[in-house]
Structures are given as structure tokens and as C-alpha cells.
Amino acid sequence: MFAESRGVARQNIQLEEISGGFELDAGNKHFDDTFVNDVSVSGAGIELSTPLEVGSSIDLTFKAGDWNISVQGKVMWCSLDAKSSDTLELENYRVGVKFNPKNANNNVIFFMASRSMVRPAN
């Protein structure tokens, strides 16, 4: 799909193992129960039912129990998920988000808070 340009390896997320979730705000769009496929301290891979414009600013929030932490980022790419192109009724989009590097400490806290949802690589 895209040439690998990440400096930090992403970790897969297993949402079923924790009572928590993600929300995403992009301009005037709000997405509850956002599905995050993978995450690192520098970015995340997200699945949405609506495409986002490359360059858009986003806020991604992780909530679990008393935890509520947000990171700011930018949409680096957005593409129709190949799996959903066979099903016209349910289009899903894969979105690559790069977190704001000026907020590195917050990005690490976000990653650490959500890491209990990380599925070990096979």
C-alpha cells in the first residue's frame, strides 16, 4: 500500500480484552467507538466509516475507567480498505495518523495507557 516510513514500530490492539475505547474528533466530525488497529508513540492506524482529508488535524482520545487521555495528530494518508471494497454497503477507510512530535511526553503517556490493549505480534 504505502512505503514503510515509520521510525517506530506499531503494536496491534485487541479491544475485547479491556473495557475502554477510543474517540476521534476531526474538525466538525466526531467518531465514538473508533477502531484503532495499531498504535505507537508516534502515530496510529485507524479504521473509520468516513474518509478524512490528508493533512486534517485530529484529536484521538483513549478512555478506560478513570483514564481519559488525548493526543493531537495529523492525517498522513487515507484509503478505502481493500476488504470493504467487495461490500458496497459497508465501506471502511484506513487512516494513518502521525501524532504531534511537540507533545512527545503526552504521546508516550497515551501509548502507555492504551498498551494493555496491545496484541503481541505473531
Fold of the domain built from segment(s) 11-116: Thrombin, subunit H (2.40.10)
Terminal C-alpha separation, the chain = 21
Regions of the chain where pLDDT drops below 70? 1-19, 82-90, 116-122
**Confidence (pLDDT) at 88:** 56
User: pTM here?
Assistant: 0.76
* Cβ atoms within 10 Å, residue 1: 8
Whole-angstrom Cα distance, residue 37 to residue 41? 14
Domain-wise residue ranges, the chain: 11-116
* Cβ atoms within 10 Å, residue 46: 25
**Confidence (pLDDT) at 9:** 63
